[in-house]
Amino acid sequence: MRNFLENFNFSNKNIFVIGGSGLIGSSVIKNFENLKGKVFNLDIKKSKNNNAKFIKFDCTKLNGIENLLTDIFKNHGNPDIVINCSYPYDKNWSKCSSKNIKINYLKKNTEYHLLSYTWISKIVAEKMKSKKIKGKIINMTSIYGFLGQDLQLYKNTNLKDNLAYSIIKGGIINLTRQLSSIYGKFGITVNCLSSGGVEGKVAGTKKKQSKIFKINYSKKTPLGRLAKPEEISSVIVFLSSGASNYISGANIIVDGGWSII
């Protein structure tokens, strides 16, 4: 039986973080850099917050994803671990409230986000299968993938509900279960992480959450605050490690107790 800490030895692992320039992705990469992993950041823009090898990758270009990933794996090595932290959306993302959404807004954002997660996961799983790699796939989702949005949080703020978001994140959770069922016999684990609110910028804007929103949110959370990015990324490292080898098809909830009350 190997030493428990050997489960967190990533020195011989190829780790691809999609959306590695974002809030969660940057924190994930920092963790793997500290653990001596060979980490690649697949994103549309290079991050100033990590030193991972940057590879330009636009997951909204669905028709080119397969060829691009094939080239990336050919040039940089086959994937042992793939983590999708991307948050793709189109220019109408902020207009996706139940009141303002139009069918083309819903269609485009579902295509960018849910379909890209689906297609990337499928391509990666097939690559791992063909190369007989007992790999790990981790996808980011949200508590609003299995709960309805609490509209009281947005009271006295400029924030609104987002109909597309819940549909997308719920789809990713069941995608995780389906892929786990299909690829488990090849030693490939597929899991997702549903986070609660995280301190940082509001998607689709350059603004951070308002003070009122943070107060509203914190009142409903047993721990009384939003999460810090590193509190999410540390769980992703666990799901990527040998310590989680018997976990697959799971939706790991990291929300400070939000969903229990």
CATH of residue 10: 3.40.50.720
For residue 131, which phi and psi values (nearest 5 degrees)? Answer: -95, 5
The answer to whether 207 touches 201, Cβ cutoff 8 Å, is yes
Identify the domain containing residue 143 by its residue range: 4-253
Rounded CA separation 69/75 (Å): 10
Residue 204 has pLDDT above 70, yes or no: no
Tens digits of residue pLDDT in 127-173: 999 999 999 999 999 999 999 999 999 999 988 999 999 999 999 99
Q: Name the strands in the sheet holding 81-84, side by side, starting at the edge strand that comes first in the sequence.
A: 53-56, 38-43, 14-18, 81-84, 136-142, 189-195, 251-254
Count Cβ atoms within 10 A of the Cβ of residue 75 and give its class: 0-12 exposed, 13-18 middle, 19 or more buried: exposed
pTM of the entire predicted model: 0.95
pLDDT in tens, 167-187: 999 999 999 999 999 999 999
User: Mean pLDDT for the chain?
Assistant: 95
Within a domain: 126 = yes
Please report whether residue 187 resides in a domain.
Answer: yes
- pLDDT at residue 203 above 80? no
Q: How many domains, the chain?
A: 1
Residue 258 lies in a domain: no
- Judge whether 261 lies within some domain: no
